[in-house]
Structure 1
Amino acid sequence: MKKFAAFLLLILLSFRLYAQPTQKPMLYGSSWMAITGKPLAATAGSMIFQQGGNAVDAACAMLAATCTMWDTLSWGGETQALIYNPKTKQVIAINAMGVAPTGATAAFFKNKGYQFPPEYGPLSATTPGTPGGLIFMLHEYGTMSLAQVLAPALQMAKGYPIEAQAANTIERQKDLIKQWPYSKRVLLPHLGAQREAPEGGELFSQPDLFTTLSKLVQAETEALRKGKSRKQALMAAYDRFYKGDIAKEFVRGCQEQGGLITLADLAAWKPIAEDALSTTYKGIEVYKLKQWTQGPVLLQALNILENFDLKAMGYNSPEYIHTVYQAMNLAFADRDFYYGDPAQLPAEPMKGLLSKAYAKQRAALINPARNDAKIGPGDPFPFQNQPNPYLNLLKARGYEPDSSKRNFAPKHDLGRLPEDENYHDRLWRGTTSIEAADKEGWVVSVTPSGGWLPACIAGNTGIGMSQRMQSFVLDPALNPFNVVAPGKRPRVTLSPSLFLKDGKPYLSAAVQGGDTQDQNLLQFFLNVADFNMPVQKATEAPNFNTNQLWLSLGGTKVADREPKPGQILLQSQTPATTREALLKKGYQLSFSERTSGPINAIWFDWKHKTLWGGSSNHGEDYGIAW
């Protein structure tokens, strides 16, 4: 009788889930769709579409606009994207992540007393990737000029009504901002007043940034005047940023404030078009960026979850939450130890990590009755016919590839609740997302970030520098593939997604939120693929987060980043029966109305040849379609 009652309750909850209206309406379009983290930036994308640009042009305009609006990123940060090219029917991965500069070594930071590179200031800066990434995408896959694409951002740099969220963030963090003279001059226009930041709705102008962006357009215009091609003119703008007068001022301002970036660092850096990594889940092709991001976590988790009947468990039932939580823990344990920059040795074991056989082995570790606080990295090397050269490091951390040999929980596995707001700030920090699609078939998913408030501005450029160096480690025992070194890219959290079905775009999605990105994207995708939710409902559906992972951002001590095994963040309205069942499985529960960053997504309706857009009810994210 109890089993029947529980089954009936599950049916009623499922009915409520599908019957409830969404807080935001579904977006529908047939010609194009533009979704991003700021309403004004979505408008910038729509302006480009209305001028005849394709989805890449529109994505670049949205990227430029969001960078100009601060809060979650600025121009000195990093950009990474997945692009579906309808002409080749291939997914292209864009790597526009900056690198560690000259002198950025583990010894350098250890001598300063750090256990991770700092989270703020000039010493946290990698080389800027967003300007080069934007120009590269426009050069290779766009149709418009840089002048056209930057026009909305240029207008905004002259002055736009700043949103209250960003303005209040500046005011809260003004003591940090005052440490850096160029940041203070730009971000605190009312210095000496009781409120030194701009007010929400105030026209916020950035003359230095306007000059820098104007110089890029000038370089392009002059090249075209001299008879250069569109692509050559774009490269003239690129060279002015990374090798010309903009580069010189950027480096001067960076070094004046104690940063390490050199002119040689800027000149040597280049964005890369690379192959995406992929797997299949129930016939759906899933594409992510390479292991310099956390993107393969989603692929690994899906490979593990293919071994379970999630639909039969029921949406967000205790069994479902437990199984997905355990799969995420297994994948993140591998991320934390094995992911790094593929352009530098040692080579990450991605063939083994993404093999279905390895996933089956990992799935067998899941105990349906309890959370495993001792779970650690596996050994994927045998699945690519190689010995694991790092078994000694795993043993030093208290891990054995065979979980039955793990006889203790490592020191950090103490299961503390993240009670302070600083923990959640580190978990969710930074980033925005951009989704664009057009009737020609171009699809773009971007998760740009870096240079968020409080940012250190490089000289008179108006450009806030990245803070991504903090995602490196200094101790190879934590991750031998992600130890900081000059010219190396840190392993970042940034993680756009593209999904194909029957050889055509099926879904495009991205979300902000640091280490939670692929947790929330995983659940969003399962909402659509396994539970047939419409895309808007899937973006708003309650998620849960695991904290049983090493944080990628925030703090300079190991204690700031340690995993918290069994700690789970649930949506506040989680039923009491689910709470009780999870407590019995050994979880420590915390609750929030917000359990996901704002997910933005596009679903492709091939039956009607239309685009369906979803933009989460959390945050300021916004979409426009036609």
Structure 2
Amino acid sequence: MNKIALLFLLFAFVANAQQTQKPILHGKNWMAITGKPLAATAGAMVFQKGGNAVDASCAMLAATCTMWDVLSWGGETQAIIYNPKTKKIIGINALGVAPTGATPEFFKEKGMNYPPQYGPLAATTPGTPGGLMYILAEYGTMSLKDVLAPAMQLADGYPIEAQTANAMERGKAQIKEWPYSKEVFLPHAGEKREAPVAGEIFRQADLLATLQKLVDAEQQALKKGKNRKEAIYAAYDRFYKGDIAKEFVRGSKEQGGLITEQDLASWKVIEEEPLHVNYKGIEVYKLSQWTQGPMLLQSLNILENFDLKAMGFNSAKYIHTLYQTMNLTFADRDFYYGDPYKAPEEPIKGLLSKEYAKERAKTINLESNDAKTAPGDPYPFEGKINPYQDYLKQWNQAAVEKSVLTPMDEEWLKNQFLGTTSIEATDKDGWIVSMVPSGGWLPATIAGKTGIGMSQRMQSFVTDPKLNPFNVVEPGKRPRVTLTPTLAMKGDKPFLAFGVQGGDTQDQNLLQFFLNIVEFDMNVQEACEAPNINTDQLYLSLGGEDRKPKPGSILLHDSTPAYVRSELQKMGYRMRFNERTSGPINAIFFDWKHGSFWGGSSNHGEDYGIGW
């Protein structure tokens, strides 16, 4: 064999051995994956101290919030937890609520069709601090002091990364509107660059003081003879009913916010049973209709009526079927999803019915894009009559009106991808956490001297019931959010835990990630890196006044072949292309044959994992 042939064989072997840009992460004792390398390290530190996956996920949550990884401490936390002792799958709803005075009339008087995108009036009550402490108290093993230690070290000063530092600089015009934000984010006020530079030690003295108050409350309770759980709840009470709450409310009101002390004191974390559907023997679990998670479940119900594998991965036929399916389920999301703990009651049983999915599948035109996709009627599949038929007719009329293909709007597209982070953790004892926290992203309004950025989640409400009678803003109500952790079970064992960053694109990306593994036999890293498609034929959940769908608009990967592009164009699609077609996906695959974990993390963004 000559040298050239030998080199060719060597190259082929290496290429075959490493098909992905990032390697698969392997571990048998624990795994920690999240949006920042330092935050993944925080999870690893807790694991090394003997913590379980719940302890580690809480440490990662605290660290990502402290690092402003497209979220902060005043945002919201959503989680799915697998308890190996009880075999139960637990949903955690730590989403804030609309404050006192937040009514449709209030915003309409200000000339707004939606609550604002930024600022104090965009804020729901903070949910992440309570969510973290509830999860830790109920399912963790460690003290709040130990779990918050990495985040407190970060708050005391860490070398800031370029992504966050540049976001501060880009948003400085808005940041300057809020005195407490300006003090934290623009340490070089008056200079050409007012935000920190990459590598600069970024310090948050007020946030550190707030976290120390939580630890102090816990430690004082322990000294009084309280147990671990009771001590953590003492810290919880200090945040929502004590001096932290008072300063948060004072700082919010000073800047024009609506949140009251009673709003904080009366807010509670909700533990619930996730929703689930069976797709070819795999049970897929999502949080309920206060998130967009059921949209993925509905999509799976529809897609099981088609032979996806025979279509071929990202063929024109597959892309078209996927796109049309997502349009149907997004239309249902846009009209029927809302807070299940407030009236009216959403028809979720009908929406997740297999029979309803079959009827929706029959409406798909396999030859061309349907620009007039509208919500269906799930009520008959619950044995009920739809009380919102008049609204549906008006919605359908709006669908006709919006069917004109309008020029793409860059601001609209940016809002579709507004980010968050995801956290995936597991351990050798079987605990699993899939978490998608968010809110309080840059440019954020910091509430007084707490160091805590306020949520912007109010923008996900509507003020017009004709758009969605279940998601109209109301004091004490939770907005329907895009945030959507996922767990899949095969038989009686965990199969996949996965989540992603990216607003309205989240369940689009997660749906394709799941299908990549189940239908196209990809491993977890290949599935994270595979090209996605994204539909723009949906109402934006986040953004300004323009939320209307962009019918026929589709995002495709740069690598899409010319013949696929040609077929899609004939079907009526307006295509745009990018080298990145999903937010960063993080996932853990459970290899029961070998007793190990396989971790995946997208090949772009700063998401990172550590396993052992």
**Alignment TM-score, normalising by the size of structure 1:** 0.95
Instruction: Show the counterpart of 1:461.
Output: 450
Contact 1:426 1:554 in 2 (8 A): yes
Distance 1:414 1:284, change over 3 A: same
Q: CA deviation at 1:19?
A: 8.3
Aligned counterpart for 2:419 among listed residues 406, 417, 430: 430
Aligned counterpart for 2:246 among listed residues 245, 248, 272: 248
Q: How far apart, in 2, do the equivalents of 1:214 and 1:410 lie?
A: 56
Instruction: Show the counterpart of 2:63.
Output: 65
Q: CA deviation at 1:289?
A: 0.3
Instruction: Show the counterpart of 2:595.
Output: 609
Q: Which digits, 9 at most, give the CA deviation of each residue in 1:184-226, with x for residues without a partner?
A: 0011000111110000010000000000000000000000001
Instruction: Show the counterpart of 1:539.
Output: 528
Q: CA deviation at 1:410?
A: 2.5
* CA-atom RMSD in angstroms: 1.1
Aligned AA (1:357): E
Aligned AA (2:359): Q
Q: How far apart, in 2, do the equivalents of 1:291 and 1:410 lie?
A: 26
Contact 2:374 2:399 in 1 (8 A): no
Instruction: Show the counterpart of 2:199.
Output: 201
Residue 554 of structure 2 is aligned to residue 568 of structure 1: yes
Aligned AA (1:416): T
Q: Which digits, 9 at most, give the CA deviation of each residue in 1:599-625, with x for residues without a partner?
A: 000000000000000000120000000
Aligned AA (1:411): E
Q: How far apart, in 2, do the equivalents of 1:90 and 1:417 lie?
A: 48
Distance 1:547 1:83, change over 3 A: same
**SS of match in other structure, 2:152:** helix
Q: Which digits, 9 at most, give the CA deviation of each residue in 1:169-188, with x for residues without a partner?
A: 10011010000000000110
Contact 1:98 1:489 in 2 (8 A): yes
Q: Which digits, 9 at most, give the CA deviation of each residue in 1:321-350, with x for residues without a partner?
A: 000111101100000000000000000000
Q: CA deviation at 1:425?
A: 1.7
**SS of match in other structure, 2:401:** coil
Instruction: Show the counterpart of 2:260.
Output: 262
Q: CA deviation at 1:20?
A: 6.9
Where structure 1 has 5 or more consecutive residues not aligned to the other structure, the ranges are 1-16, 400-407
Instruction: Show the counterpart of 2:233.
Output: 235
Q: How far apart, in 2, do the equivalents of 1:161 and 1:203 lie?
A: 4
Residue 429 of structure 2 is aligned to residue 440 of structure 1: yes
Aligned AA (1:203): I
Q: How far apart, in 2, do the equivalents of 1:418 and 1:498 lie?
A: 35
Q: How far apart, in 2, do the equivalents of 1:192 and 1:382 lie?
A: 63
Q: CA deviation at 1:147?
A: 0.2
Q: Which digits, 9 at most, give the CA deviation of each residue in 1:538-565, with x for residues without a partner?
A: 000000000000000010x2xx111011
Aligned AA (1:352): G
Aligned AA (1:256): E
Q: How far apart, in 2, do the equivalents of 1:135 and 1:84 lie?
A: 17
Q: How far apart, in 1, do the equivalents of 2:370 and 2:477 lie?
A: 34
Instruction: Show the counterpart of 1:377.
Output: 375
Aligned counterpart for 2:477 among listed residues 488, 513, 537: 488
Residue 401 of structure 2 is aligned to residue 415 of structure 1: no
Aligned counterpart for 1:103 among listed residues 101, 122, 126: 101
Aligned AA (2:455): S
Aligned AA (1:587): Y
Instruction: Show the counterpart of 1:24.
Output: 22
Instruction: Show the counterpart of 1:591.
Output: 577
Q: How far apart, in 2, do the equivalents of 1:128 and 1:492 lie?
A: 14
Instruction: Show the counterpart of 1:509.
Output: 498
Q: How far apart, in 1, do the equivalents of 2:408 and 2:448 lie?
A: 37
Query: For this pair of structures, how many residues does the alignment match?
Result: 598
Q: How does 1:45-444 map to 2 (within 5 A)?
A: 45-398=43-396, 409-420=399-410, 422-444=411-433
Contact 2:499 2:586 in 1 (8 A): yes
Q: CA deviation at 1:411?
A: 2.0
**SS of match in other structure, 2:309:** helix
Q: CA deviation at 1:88?
A: 1.2
Q: How far apart, in 2, do the equivalents of 1:132 and 1:417 lie?
A: 43
Q: CA deviation at 1:416?
A: 2.3
Instruction: Show the counterpart of 2:611.
Output: 625
Instruction: Show the counterpart of 2:4.
Output: none
Q: How far apart, in 1, do the equivalents of 2:464 and 2:370 lie?
A: 25
Aligned AA (1:493): T
Q: CA deviation at 1:397?
A: 2.3
Aligned AA (1:570): L
Q: How far apart, in 1, do the equivalents of 2:351 and 2:573 lie?
A: 27
Q: How far apart, in 1, do the equivalents of 2:110 and 2:399 lie?
A: 31
Where structure 2 has 5 or more consecutive residues not aligned to the other structure, the ranges are 1-14
**SS of match in other structure, 1:469:** helix
Q: Which digits, 9 at most, give the CA deviation of each residue in 1:378-425, with x for residues without a partner?
A: 0000000000000000112235xxxxxxxx9532232224242x2222
Contact 2:35 2:69 in 1 (8 A): no
Q: How far apart, in 2, do the equivalents of 1:321 and 1:343 lie?
A: 36
What stretches of structure 1 move > 4 A for 4+ residues in a row?
A: 17-20
Q: How far apart, in 1, do the equivalents of 2:264 and 2:296 lie?
A: 32
**SS of match in other structure, 1:410:** helix
Aligned AA (1:414): V
Distance 1:18 1:567, change over 3 A: farther
**SS of match in other structure, 2:252:** helix
Q: How far apart, in 1, do the equivalents of 2:167 and 2:61 lie?
A: 21
Q: How far apart, in 2, do the equivalents of 1:609 and 1:415 lie?
A: 52
